Chain A
Amino acid sequence: MSMWLVIAPLLLMLVSGLFIMLVDAFAKERAELALVTSVAIAVAGAISLGVLVQGGAPADMPEVLTRYLASDPFAHFFDVAICAGASLSVLLAGGYLREHGLERGEFYVLVLFSCFGAMILARAIDLLSLFVGLETMSLGVYAMIAFRRTSARAVEGAMKYFLLGSFAAAILLFGSALLYAGTGHTDFVGIGEMIASGDAENRLVLVGMLMVVVGLAFKVSAVPFHMWTPDAYEGAVTPATTFMSVSVKAAAFAVFVRVCMVALGDESVMTASGWPTAIAGLAVLTMVYGNVAAIVQKSIKRMLAYSSIAHAGYVMVGLVAAAEIGAPAISAVLFYLLAYTVSNALAFGSLVVMGSRGKEAVHYDDLRGVGRRHPMAALPFVIGVLSLMGFPPTAGFFGKYYVFNAAVQAGDVWLAIVGVLASAVGAYYYLRVIVVMFMQEPEEDQVLAVPMKSGYVATALAASGAAVMALGMMPGWFLDVAIEAARQLLG
């Protein structure tokens, strides 16, 4: 396999980012930047999918690349999830920004560069590339949240995320430096070998490990490090929220898994005082708090923000199980993240389609009776929330099934029970969307949400809806790919 094919997705992001920046500066007419951007990202994802399916011997890469970036099936799998999420977000942005009079080209540039950072993060096998990828991704996202700069909500959400995100990055970085101090290595494999051979300075490694876990928990918005999430998600324009909740989260989990399994995969740090216990605690808090807090929200966007917090908890259950049983649990995590990406993109896309200019759907009440007035616009929302809820035969059902199954196999039965109970609580607020849309009538003199019409948004909804159903109808194929990727990660 050619080296160029393997790094083509990364190059494509960079080149198209620069290209769009130029076109946006010089184009006088309204250019279809959303179309170009989403096609570029989709092509990058397709290349990675091709490499992933084709398999074969790893490409011959120069040392400067292999030292910092992996090009294994694990990375390509996450490329697919990240690119799917980013491409759908851009399609949504194409409709949303025009409808709300915000059409400016820099949004697409920010998505492309941020997506580049996310892909670097998914490939990171060194603390250096971890840090640079994380910051490249985050800096784009900070700017993306503040995109509607005349809105106090947007700028405030951006400021909160920026301050807390930078604080978390500093903690993560100090932890990385301590890991380096404890082992003398910055590459994950080297750190893992030093820990396994017993030559590492254990106290430094332990403190470093905790700080790295805290820093990453911030990025995946695990409770109690989630404070920024609802504000940032609510303040941002909805397509940016979509990107944050799917691509950014997937990339953060990619590196979370890699750090835990490769650098900290030795048994001596997976004991009672190691990371599995810490992450199990975080997972329980995240699942319970995320679901309970989502119930009391009045704004649908905030509800989806808390729901995405809860989903981070389910993924962490898989990560805890991976400490015990390895590859099967990691493949469950991979499948879950892919399923969550398309389901959440579908749910946020439905929220986008529910609002034309000045008549945006914000609260549950705004959706009253929409299902009867505009059944075609309501249908994606139904599929999206059912999949997030974990209703068969959608993608979300198999995602939850594999993750909880992995937890049971690993002997963490109590964790699986908490997870199932928490998702039962979650069913309440997901079903409430459907109840409001189909079984309630609007009050007199209420401003009604009117669905918008846009080819971009319709395409995004059709694509993500099809992906949700495809993952639900034939989960086996995707799971096989995920298992292969997980096996090669563990070597």
Chain B
Amino acid sequence: MEIGLGEYLALASLLFGIGATGFLTRRNALIQLMSIEIMLNSVNVVLVAVNRFHPENHAGQIFSFFVIAVAAAEAAVGLAILIALYRLKKTIETDKADVLRH
């Protein structure tokens, strides 16, 4: 069976859906961060797959490197914020962070 763009897109959508569901249903900020990473990696799947069908330039592959690099930077800042939160509240459950609602 020849694997075409459609199959890659289906895989990526599945990954993206898993990530989005995880982000929306879980309340642990670390798990939510991991869910976002899954979503970003689903984007990488699309980018690299599309590049195979549009090989004029390497836009997709280059793009995916940038996504990986930026995801790392994002995780660094995010984990720093989570550590600051944990020091103050001894938890990283997002529904326990509620001082701003009162």
With both chains docked as a complex, state the minimum distance between the C-beta of B19 and any C-beta of chain A, in angstroms.
7
A181 B70 Cβ-Cβ under 8 A: no
A177 B89 Cβ-Cβ under 8 A: no
B81 A139 Cβ-Cβ under 8 A: no
B88 A150 Cβ-Cβ under 8 A: yes
Specify the chain B residue showing the minimal Cβ separation from A170.
B39
- Asked whether any CB of chain B lies closer than 8 Å to the CB of A143, the reply is yes
Residues in B neighbouring A185, C-beta threshold 8 A: 59
With both chains docked as a complex, state the minimum distance between the C-beta of B101 and any C-beta of chain A, in angstroms.
8
Residues in A neighbouring B47, C-beta threshold 8 A: 177, 180
Interface residues of B in 11-47 (CB under 8 A from A): 12, 16, 19-20, 23, 29, 32-33, 36, 39-40, 42-43, 46-47
Given the known A-B contacts A174-B43, A180-B47, A184-B50, are A155 and B63 also in contact in the complex, defined by CB atoms under 8 Å?
A: no
- Asked whether any CB of chain A lies closer than 8 Å to the CB of B97, the reply is yes
A162 B50 Cβ-Cβ under 8 A: no
The majority secondary structure among interface residues of chain B is helix
Residues in B neighbouring A131, C-beta threshold 8 A: 63, 66-67, 70
Specify the chain A residue showing the minimal Cβ separation from B45.
A177
Interface size class of B (residues with CB under 8 A): 35 or more
Q: Whole-angstrom distance between the alpha carbons of A235 and B84 in the complex?
A: 14
Q: Whole-angstrom distance between the alpha carbons of A178 and B60 in the complex?
A: 11
Specify the chain A residue showing the minimal Cβ separation from B76.
A139
A235 B63 Cβ-Cβ under 8 A: no
Specify the chain A residue showing the minimal Cβ separation from B63.
A128
B32 A163 Cβ-Cβ under 8 A: yes
Q: Whole-angstrom distance between the alpha carbons of A347 and B56 in the complex?
A: 51
- Asked whether any CB of chain A lies closer than 8 Å to the CB of B73, the reply is yes
Most buried by B among A152, A157, A177: A177
Q: Whole-angstrom distance between the alpha carbons of A171 and B99 in the complex?
A: 28
A156 B99 Cβ-Cβ under 8 A: yes
- Asked whether any CB of chain A lies closer than 8 Å to the CB of B62, the reply is yes
B59 A186 Cβ-Cβ under 8 A: yes
- Asked whether any CB of chain A lies closer than 8 Å to the CB of B74, the reply is yes
Specify the chain A residue showing the minimal Cβ separation from B19.
A170
- Asked whether any CB of chain B lies closer than 8 Å to the CB of A146, the reply is yes
Q: Whole-angstrom distance between the alpha carbons of A230 and B63 in the complex?
A: 33
B50 A159 Cβ-Cβ under 8 A: no
The majority secondary structure among interface residues of chain A is helix
Contact with B along A152-178 (1 / 0, CB 8 A): 110111111011001101110110111
Residues in B neighbouring A128, C-beta threshold 8 A: 59, 62-63, 66
Given the known A-B contacts A143-B77, A153-B99, A180-B59, are A166 and B67 also in contact in the complex, defined by CB atoms under 8 Å?
A: no
Specify the chain B residue showing the minimal Cβ separation from A180.
B50
With both chains docked as a complex, state the minimum distance between the C-beta of B75 and any C-beta of chain A, in angstroms.
9
Among candidates A153, A157, A162, residue contacting B78 with C-beta atoms closer than 8 Å: A162
Q: Whole-angstrom distance between the alpha carbons of A171 and B78 in the complex?
A: 18
Residues in A neighbouring B20, C-beta threshold 8 A: 167
Specify the chain A residue showing the minimal Cβ separation from B88.
A152
- Asked whether any CB of chain B lies closer than 8 Å to the CB of A231, the reply is yes
Specify the chain B residue showing the minimal Cβ separation from A161.
B81
Q: Whole-angstrom distance between the alpha carbons of A235 and B73 in the complex?
A: 23
With both chains docked as a complex, state the minimum distance between the C-beta of A277 and any C-beta of chain B, in angstroms.
24
Specify the chain B residue showing the minimal Cβ separation from A234.
B100
A159 B85 Cβ-Cβ under 8 A: yes
B74 A135 Cβ-Cβ under 8 A: yes
- Asked whether any CB of chain A lies closer than 8 Å to the CB of B80, the reply is yes
Q: Whole-angstrom distance between the alpha carbons of A158 and B60 in the complex?
A: 32
Among candidates B59, B77, B84, B85, residue contacting A139 with C-beta atoms closer than 8 Å: B77
Among candidates A149, A166, A171, A177, residue contacting B46 with C-beta atoms closer than 8 Å: A177
Specify the chain A residue showing the minimal Cβ separation from B23.
A167
A157 B82 Cβ-Cβ under 8 A: no
Given the known A-B contacts A159-B29, A167-B36, A173-B43, are A132 and B70 also in contact in the complex, defined by CB atoms under 8 Å?
A: yes
Contact with B along A127-139 (1 / 0, CB 8 A): 1100110010001
Interface residues of A in 191-209 (CB under 8 A from B): 204
B16 A174 Cβ-Cβ under 8 A: yes
Residues in B neighbouring A184, C-beta threshold 8 A: 50, 53-54, 56
- Asked whether any CB of chain B lies closer than 8 Å to the CB of A404, the reply is no
Residues in A neighbouring B70, C-beta threshold 8 A: 131-132, 135
B50 A153 Cβ-Cβ under 8 A: no
6 closest residue pairs by CB, A with B: A170-B39, A177-B46, A184-B54, A156-B97, A231-B100, A181-B50
Residue contacts A-B, CB under 8 angstroms, 25 given: A131-B66, A132-B70, A139-B73, A146-B84, A152-B89, A153-B100, A157-B100, A159-B97, A160-B100, A163-B36, A166-B33, A166-B36, A166-B74, A167-B23, A170-B16, A170-B39, A171-B39, A176-B43, A177-B12, A177-B63, A180-B59, A180-B63, A184-B50, A184-B56, A235-B100
